[in-house]
Chains A and B, each alone.
Chain A
Amino acid sequence: MSLALVVMLPFMGAVIAPQFAQAGRTAIAIASSVPSLVALMTLFPYWERLAGGNAVIQHVEWLPQIGLSLSFRLDGLALLFALLILVIGILIILYARYYLKKHENVGKFYSLLLLFQGAMLGIVLSNNLLLMLVFWELTSVVSFLLISFWNHKQDARRGARMALAITGGGGLALMAGVLLIGQIVGSYELEVVLAAGDQIRAHALYPITLALILVGAFTKSAQFPFHFWLPHAMQAPTPVSAYLHSATMVKAGIFLMARLYPALAGTEQWFYMVSFTGMITLLIGAYVAMFKHDLKGLLAHSTVSHLGLITLLFGMGTKLAAVAAVFHVVNHATFKASLFMAAGIIDHETGTRDMRRINGLWRYMPHTATLAMVAAASMAGVPLLNGFISKEMFFAEALELNLPGIWAYLPPLVATLAGIFAVAYSARFIHDVFFNGQPKNLPVFPPHEPPRYMKIPVEILVFACLAVGMFPAFSVGPLLFIAASATLGGEVPDYTLAVAHGFNLPLLMSFAAFSGGLVMYSQRQRFFDFHERFKEIDEKAVFESVVTWVGNLSERVTNKLENGSLQRYALLLFLTAFTVTLWPLTELGFSIGSNELSPVDYPSALGALVLIGAAIGTVVMHRQRLTSLILLSVVGLLVAVAFATFSAPDLALTQLSVEVVTIILLVLSLFYLPAQTPVETTAFTRWRDVGIALAAGIGMTLVTLALLTRPFSSISEFFLENSKPGGGGTNVVNVILVDFRGFDTLGEITVLAIAALGIYSMMKYTKLQAPATDRLGNPWSKDPHPTMLMQISRPLLPLALMVSVFIFLRGHNLPGGGFIAGLITAVALISQYIASGVDWSEQRVKTPYQIVVALGVAIATLTGVGSYAFGYPFLTSWFTYASLPVIGKFELATAMIFDLGVYLTVVGATLLALTSLGKLSDPSTKVSASHNEGGV
């Protein structure tokens, strides 16, 4: 897995290198260059195999289910890019050692740089498209962090975010494209995809696949209309600009086009999309570069333009053009990286990058000037330099392109025009910076040559420009050949790398470009004046305002929808329920099952009428809270009566006691609330709500009618049969509660316990001011604990407790049980609180109710756990019969212990909740006291 190692090395370096930050910049720079050197040594032995035109593929499965594998591929193209990344990487690391200041966070810088290097190597060495995608997006994220390295600067932050949005967004498009390729080919492995070119091109999804992948490539490689992020990424420290934004990352899109060339290229769609995008980018970049006063701005736009050139070459679709494209990748990387480094040196030494101020530097830094001028000449395409050779090839290919009719003239014209611009801005770079009078108002004056070692990376790259320019076949010939062969998928056309191909049309175009460019530069003032007339668009500001606009729009939409109104949310809930059940309900219609409707007797009819009346009354009177509460209790009581009538005594008893407790609870809360609900709704919303309520009621009536009239066979027969023999009780309801479905009961008492604890927690630190008077303005009674009430309630307590013990004990066989008994006890105790006050009662009940609650849940749970000991599952019950003198034969059942837990929980929870509410303020003392004071 040596290829995986090559990719991993920089990642490991990213972790290790920052440890050297304390040891100084030199130490960390040396540490950071180790991964690159080791990687180069690892790649070296492969040369022979690759020279034979083979590809090395190393494969480890990772997530075969989604087609993602750790598979790496080294072929000519990958090697060419890997070398660029590694070699320029080392130079950048060296350069940054002198570029960064001592106080800066060098550890972070080198770490990010190495992360980037690893991600970039990952892209070029991946043999799996999904794996490539992983690294692809990783470069976007890391480049975001590198651009914003000086994150205290607003421009840096904005530039970084813009770059992330564009390249990251493009990555998403690429993701879709790659997934489509996977759908078409059935694999993401490159060797399969590259071999399936015909299949892909013939597929119905080809156009959309191609478009998505190209969006990915174009965003990364700053092609029109996505080119604008690149110039703004120049807020990054210059080593980053040189590395990411000229030599490597922006070439990732180009690499992708080269990589997928055999799979995607060769169709009309490819030709039009790629070549026209390239053409436009080429022109726009070159044109704008001329007007940039910022050194790095000029270089950035020139980079855009050159990327357009390479794209155009790929778009042309001929094999020679592809060779030229690959060649220009190398050439551009060398001269542009060295130019950026030179620009960085100038910035470093003069404190500015404004070409209107830095003039005449030749006198101050001749060495740097010489290097920069050679590189700039290469950028302009001066013979004997590498830029010239690939540009000649480009011109030749532009001429070869046979577009129909008058369009045939377009490519050569565009090429020449772009050439003119390139010469002009290169001339400006050379003349403005190094000649053209004296420097004006430099922040640092006089400028000096930079440290010796800072120039070494530039020297090496400039040397490469010269070497390739003069001895192309010798210096890059073999590498270019295998790269081109890998790009084209095997067959490489005949081409010769030579300094000059004799006197021909491309040379003429070069000549035209030169003279045109120089003329243009000499007349630059006119062009500047012309350009001045157009308002310059600051893409960053536009981007910001778009983001802000989207944010504000979203906020408005959100606020409209999520307006914090409970009524709205409840309405939505009901409407949703209606919408989804409407269709099945219409299917159901007015359905009465096979059971006959039972006859109506007068008492039931009367009860029903009162029930309906009370329910309507509750709603109508809801603004009068106390009245409405009384009506509500009528509803509750009638329901209890109904239960009793339809032979459900347990339910009736439960309902009755629950009703009592609930009403007390509500009265307690009403004490702190205004007596009347203010009118806050319009007539429309009220009628709307009436409509909804009616609809819900009708729906439920239909459903109830349908389900009660159907013959019913259910698991309840089992319960009836097994209640006595299996559960040991004749009261089926109770046996269901404590045995058949004891787990439900355990859950429900837990709910009760939590509710009480929740109320306790909520109220503990809440202190409310009790109202001084009742709603009519009358003072409260001066006697909060009337003697009569006290006298009646106290003897009631033992009686009530006895009743609850009775109800509890008989529960297993007759109506009753822990739940009801608990409520009865609770009511009896509450009446003491009401009659005699909180203080009096609390002096007598020493156990905190929380403990009672806990005890209840614990007993119920542990009863269930007890069955483990006998080899039975949780909550298995056991019972036997025993007899004692006097009492006679009686039943002993574990279910009773469980029921005791229920009982305790109910008592504890009810009292905990009610006393918490009762203690919110102490009305019995405070309010009456204040009245006494007032009165006396």
Chain B
Amino acid sequence: MNNWLTAPILIPLLGGVLQIFMSYAPMQLRRTLALTTTILTLLAAIVLLGLADDGSYRVYALGNWQPPFGIMLVLDRLAALMLIVTAVLALFCHIYAFQKTDTQGPHFHTLFLFQLTGLNIAFLTGDLFNLFVAFEVLLIASYGLLLHGGGTTRTVAGLHYVVLNLIGSALFLFSVGMIYSVTGTLNMADLAVKVPQLSSENLPLVKTGGLLLLVVFGLKSAILPLCFWLPRAYSNATAPVAALFAVMTKVGIYAILRVYTLIFGENAGELAHLGMNWLFPTALFTLAIGVIGLLGSKKLKTMIAWQVIISVGTMLAAIGLTTPAGISAALFYLINTTWVVGGLFLLADLVSSQRGSADDRIVTAPKMRNNALLGTLFLISAVAAIGLPPLSGFFSKLLILQAATPGTEMVLLWSVILVGGFFTLIAYSHAGSIVFWRNSEGHIKHDGKLGLPVTLSTAGLVGLSLVIVALAGPINRYTEATAAQLNSPAGYTEVLQMPVVTESRR
């Protein structure tokens, strides 16, 4: 067994604990340690990506208990992809926080690193109940981060977020209970084996559980009608937190991909593609409501929050096609949108810091100190978000459109995505031209000087769009391989035969 599999979980966990011990240490030292932790997490993710790319499954039996009895971690291409997307995003967000965010309240770094722990557990675990635990870890950490910095609006939006997610957690437990009561197992590979063998009298229970689970994941990924908590929560969070949260909805999407390809995938017999008939139409409506929200936004950060919902809709629509091509396209899009939206959140914060009382509202204000730089970054990230060439958004959109097969499905998908894209274009050009070009006389007294960390991290995250274009070939090969791997879950269930470390007293 390869201990590297635990690295993305243990590094941020121990790093986070260390931060608590260092509560009274000088800020500079804490920052150095925190950044080191995040960098190490990224390195671990890179190592795992290298491992996963050979296409085999790697299993790690925690406590050396033979699956399905103990909890196992499973590394496959999808898990590695999610790890790396998260780690890269986190690194930039973390650097950004060094400007001032981490001094706005205690324990920022701890919460940030625990958040990473939770995310990484979710991506690596091969156990349904442990996924619940992972969700709890990342939920509670995200709640702490959401409230970081204080303020009434932040607290109210955060409260909505946490209450809804607690209801979600309860539903998660219900559904896990229903599934466990009949299948008698929590291990996802084992479930994949047991679900097709269900007797017809037990089928409705698992079906109910499976569909309830979809609701929970839908809440996490913010699909219509469960998305309305998101805009306020995200747009009111501090910038690096909001940017990091760009990956939070993707956890829900990851869970959908994992559970509904493995447990309720092709081979699930009666329950094959459970709930997927709901997914496609819902996703299209989500996309549409995202565009409407974007058009109606009066602030940059709200706009970007709705952009998150648009990307959720786009990805799930592609996944709802239930073809390998659709999944591959969705994953390509996921990489692009996570980083770009993260960059946009950081950028919006820089903009608002230079506009005094105008903040990030889309209104006339005195010219920003770094208008040209911020404007250029906005242009790049908007082009990437809308999906215009030559940036990564275009390629991912192209992949999604190509994934549809001719028929009603194609007509719906194409028209919603393309018409949506058109309105996004209008909204971004409108907002951008007001914020960056329509300037009033006068100047702002305390215009935020762009420090090195914030400039570097924002530009870096936005610039990743270009990196994706440059590496489009390899990335696409990887996502295609990932989709293929997801589509043949037989390999995943073989992990049950994995031997534990012998020569043991057992």
**Is B229 part of the contact surface with A, judged by Cβ < 8 Å?**
yes
**Chain A residues whose C-beta falls within 8 Å of the C-beta of B436 in the assembled complex:** 151
B14 and A858 form a contact (CB under 8 A): yes
**Is B177 part of the contact surface with A, judged by Cβ < 8 Å?**
yes
**Is B377 part of the contact surface with A, judged by Cβ < 8 Å?**
no
**Chain A residues whose C-beta falls within 8 Å of the C-beta of B141 in the assembled complex:** 754, 758
Chain A, interface SS category: helix
B164 and A165 form a contact (CB under 8 A): no
B64 and A876 form a contact (CB under 8 A): yes
CB distance from B393 to the nearest CB of A (A): 11
A875 and B62 form a contact (CB under 8 A): yes
B422 and A587 form a contact (CB under 8 A): no
**Is A102 part of the contact surface with B, judged by Cβ < 8 Å?**
no
**Is B57 part of the contact surface with A, judged by Cβ < 8 Å?**
no
**Chain A residues whose C-beta falls within 8 Å of the C-beta of B418 in the assembled complex:** 172-173, 175-176
A715 and B68 form a contact (CB under 8 A): yes
B69 and A740 form a contact (CB under 8 A): yes
**Is A672 part of the contact surface with B, judged by Cβ < 8 Å?**
no
Q: Indicate which residue in A562, A700, A744, A853 contacts B129 across the interface (CB closer than 8 Å).
A: A744
Q: Indicate which residue in B164, B190, B439, B480 contacts A573 across the interface (CB closer than 8 Å).
A: B164
A566 and B129 form a contact (CB under 8 A): no
B107 and A761 form a contact (CB under 8 A): yes
**Chain A residues whose C-beta falls within 8 Å of the C-beta of B402 in the assembled complex:** 66-67, 179, 182
> Between A and B, how many residue pairs show CB distances below 8 Å?
340
- A739 (CB) vs chain B CBs: closest residue: B63
CB distance from A87 to the nearest CB of B (A): 26
10 extra A-B contacts, CB within 8 A, seeds A569-B160, A748-B136: A176-B418, A569-B226, A570-B167, A576-B215, A584-B204, A585-B208, A703-B208, A757-B144, A758-B147, A861-B14
CB distance from B32 to the nearest CB of A (A): 19
**Is A128 part of the contact surface with B, judged by Cβ < 8 Å?**
no
**Chain B residues whose C-beta falls within 8 Å of the C-beta of A925 in the assembled complex:** none
Known pairs A751-B137, A760-B106, A873-B501; A148 contacts B64 (CB<8 A)? no
Known pairs A707-B178, A714-B184, A744-B71; A758 contacts B143 (CB<8 A)? yes
**Is A762 part of the contact surface with B, judged by Cβ < 8 Å?**
yes
Known pairs A576-B226, A703-B178, A747-B136; A134 contacts B399 (CB<8 A)? no
CB distance from B416 to the nearest CB of A (A): 12
Known pairs A587-B207, A751-B140, A872-B64; A569 contacts B229 (CB<8 A)? yes
**Is B401 part of the contact surface with A, judged by Cβ < 8 Å?**
yes
**Is A205 part of the contact surface with B, judged by Cβ < 8 Å?**
yes
B275 and A580 form a contact (CB under 8 A): yes
Give the distance in Å from the alpha carbon of A557 to the alpha carbon of B306 in the complex: 14
Q: Mark A567-587, 1 if CB is under 8 A from B, else 0.
A: 011101111110011001101
CB under 8 Å from chain B, chain A span 845-899: 848, 850-851, 853-854, 857-858, 861-862, 865, 867-868, 871-878
Give the interface segment out of A153-161, A385-393, A501-509, A825-833.
A153-161
Instruction: Return 15 A-B CB contacts under 8 Å, by A number.
Output: A133-B389, A161-B433, A171-B388, A175-B401, A175-B418, A551-B295, A551-B296, A557-B292, A577-B171, A588-B205, A758-B141, A758-B143, A850-B20, A862-B14, A875-B62
CB distance from A693 to the nearest CB of B (A): 13
Q: Mark A696-718, 1 if CB is under 8 A from B, else 0.
A: 00001001001110101111101
CB distance from A94 to the nearest CB of B (A): 27
A562 and B389 form a contact (CB under 8 A): no
Give the distance in Å from the alpha carbon of A183 to the alpha carbon of B406 in the complex: 8
Q: Mark A546-568, 1 if CB is under 8 A from B, else 0.
A: 01001111111111011010101
Give the interface segment out of B40-48, B237-245, B424-432.
B424-432
Q: Mark B363-381, 1 if CB is under 8 A from A, else 0.
A: 0000000000000000100
**Is B23 part of the contact surface with A, judged by Cβ < 8 Å?**
yes
Known pairs A577-B215, A750-B114; A562 contacts B231 (CB<8 A)? yes
Most chain B CB atoms below 10 A, which of A65, A144, A853: A65
Give the distance in Å from the alpha carbon of A853 to the alpha carbon of B167 in the complex: 27
**Chain B residues whose C-beta falls within 8 Å of the C-beta of A62 in the assembled complex:** 472-473
Q: Mark A715-736, 1 if CB is under 8 A from B, else 0.
A: 1101100100110000000000
**Chain A residues whose C-beta falls within 8 Å of the C-beta of B105 in the assembled complex:** 761, 764-765
Q: How large is the interface on B (under 10, 10 to 19, 20 to 34, 35 or more residues)?
A: 35 or more
**Chain B residues whose C-beta falls within 8 Å of the C-beta of A858 in the assembled complex:** 14, 17, 21
**Is A427 part of the contact surface with B, judged by Cβ < 8 Å?**
no
**Is B111 part of the contact surface with A, judged by Cβ < 8 Å?**
yes
Chain B, interface SS category: helix
**Chain B residues whose C-beta falls within 8 Å of the C-beta of A872 in the assembled complex:** 64, 501, 504
CB distance from B463 to the nearest CB of A (A): 15
- B210 (CB) vs chain A CBs: closest residue: A584
Give the distance in Å from the alpha carbon of A561 to the alpha carbon of B437 in the complex: 32
**Chain B residues whose C-beta falls within 8 Å of the C-beta of A173 in the assembled complex:** 418
CB under 8 Å from chain A, chain B span 1-32: 1, 3, 6, 10, 13-14, 17, 20-21, 23
A715 and B186 form a contact (CB under 8 A): yes
Give the distance in Å from the alpha carbon of A572 to the alpha carbon of B285 in the complex: 15
**Is A367 part of the contact surface with B, judged by Cβ < 8 Å?**
no
CB distance from A849 to the nearest CB of B (A): 10
Q: Indicate which residue in A168, A205, A758, A876 contacts B140 across the interface (CB closer than 8 Å).
A: A758
**Chain A residues whose C-beta falls within 8 Å of the C-beta of B174 in the assembled complex:** 700, 703
Known pairs A758-B140, A874-B62; A572 contacts B226 (CB<8 A)? yes
**Chain B residues whose C-beta falls within 8 Å of the C-beta of A141 in the assembled complex:** 379, 383, 388
Q: What are the 6 A-B residue pairs with the smallest beta carbon separation, nearest first?
A: A714-B184, A554-B296, A555-B296, A758-B144, A707-B181, A854-B20
**Is B117 part of the contact surface with A, judged by Cβ < 8 Å?**
yes
**Is A130 part of the contact surface with B, judged by Cβ < 8 Å?**
yes
CB under 8 Å from chain B, chain A span 453-506: none
**Is A743 part of the contact surface with B, judged by Cβ < 8 Å?**
yes
- Count residues of chain A with CB under 8 A from any CB of chain B: 126
A558 and B501 form a contact (CB under 8 A): no
Q: List residues of chain A with CB under 8 Å of any chain B CB.
A: 62-63, 65-68, 130, 133-138, 140-141, 144-145, 148, 151-152, 154, 157, 160-161, 164-165, 168-169, 171-173, 175-176, 179, 182-183, 205, 547, 550-559, 561-562, 564, 566, 568-570, 572-577, 580-581, 584-585, 587-588, 591, 593, 700, 703, 706-708, 710, 712-716, 718-719, 722, 725-726, 739-744, 747-748, 750-751, 753-755, 757-758, 760-762, 764-766, 848, 850-851, 853-854, 857-858, 861-862, 865, 867-868, 871-878
Give the distance in Å from the alpha carbon of A418 to the alpha carbon of B266 in the complex: 64
Give the distance in Å from the alpha carbon of A152 to the alpha carbon of B114 in the complex: 47
- A574 (CB) vs chain B CBs: closest residue: B167
B476 and A857 form a contact (CB under 8 A): no
A65 and B477 form a contact (CB under 8 A): yes
**Chain A residues whose C-beta falls within 8 Å of the C-beta of B473 in the assembled complex:** 62-63
Give the distance in Å from the alpha carbon of A172 to the alpha carbon of B105 in the complex: 46
- A594 (CB) vs chain B CBs: closest residue: B201
**Chain B residues whose C-beta falls within 8 Å of the C-beta of A851 in the assembled complex:** 20-21, 23
CB distance from B60 to the nearest CB of A (A): 6
Most chain B CB atoms below 10 A, which of A68, A593, A743: A743
Give the distance in Å from the alpha carbon of A141 to the alpha carbon of B391 in the complex: 12
Q: Mark B62-105, 1 if CB is under 8 A from A, else 0.
A: 11110011110000000000000000000000000000000001
Known pairs A551-B295, A764-B106; A865 contacts B204 (CB<8 A)? no
B133 and A588 form a contact (CB under 8 A): no
A861 and B184 form a contact (CB under 8 A): no
Give the distance in Å from the alpha carbon of A853 to the alpha carbon of B401 in the complex: 50
CB distance from A756 to the nearest CB of B (A): 10
Q: Indicate which residue in A66, A183, A557, A873 contacts B62 across the interface (CB closer than 8 Å).
A: A873
CB distance from A551 to the nearest CB of B (A): 6
B20 and A873 form a contact (CB under 8 A): no
**Is B123 part of the contact surface with A, judged by Cβ < 8 Å?**
no
Q: Indicate which residue in B129, B184, B289 contacts A713 across the interface (CB closer than 8 Å).
A: B184
CB distance from A315 to the nearest CB of B (A): 26
A566 and B159 form a contact (CB under 8 A): yes
Q: Indicate which residue in A65, A137, A145, A558 contacts B394 across the interface (CB closer than 8 Å).
A: A137
A584 and B228 form a contact (CB under 8 A): no
Give the distance in Å from the alpha carbon of A495 to the alpha carbon of B114 in the complex: 77
